[in-house]
Amino acid sequence: MTSRRRWMGPKHGIARGVAVYGSAIDRSDTIDGTLPDSGRLKSWSHSHGVVIADEPAGLGALDEHLDEWFANPARHERVDLGNEVGIHLGNVIIKNVVGAHWKVWPSGHPVIVLATGRDMDVIAMVDDRLKNSGSSLTSIYASASST
């Protein structure tokens, strides 16, 4: 008899940063449409002259200002910045990349699924962009649109 171990990881562990929960009876792992944002990103961007739209063209301007926001110690919500920008980037991808949609891992963490079936954890990718100088928002978008 072979015992199966369930490895804890991003799909099955505790959701990081953002979690989506719903009824256990109607639970589907896909989300129709976009995820709502809290409005803090749009408010901040408006006050800094950055236009936030659900278009890929706006990602470059937003990317230029992310380091400024993340580096400001007076911004208490900077912890949530990766979540906010990740949701925004994910919404841009699903609105502009054919076949892309939100999916919820068993942990409750939302990810983008591309038409190829590949999962993209855009929230973790944005967090990596902020904390470790990872890929730019435009590069992440390009990766999603080229597959």
The predicted-structure confidence for 56-85, as pLDDT tens digits, reads as follows 988 988 888 887 777 776 655 555 777 889
pTM of the model: 0.78
Residue 88 backbone class (left: φ over 0; alpha: ψ -120 to 50; beta: rest): alpha
**Under 8 Å between Cβ of 139 and 43:** no
Task: Give me the half-sphere count of Cα atoms (radius 13 Å) on the Cβ side of residue 122.
Answer: 31
Longest Cα–Cα distance of the chain, Å, equals 63
The predicted structure's pLDDT at residue 4 = 45
Give the burial class of 18: count Cβ atoms within 10 A of its Cβ; 0-12 exposed, 13-18 middle, 19 or more buried.
Answer: middle
The amino acid occupying position 103 is: K
pLDDT exceeds 60 at position 19: no
Q: How far apart are CA 44 and CA 32, in angstroms?
A: 27
Confidence band of 38 (pLDDT split at 50, 70, 90): low
pLDDT exceeds 60 at position 8: no
Tokens matching residue 87: 């949701």
The predicted structure's pLDDT at residue 1 = 45
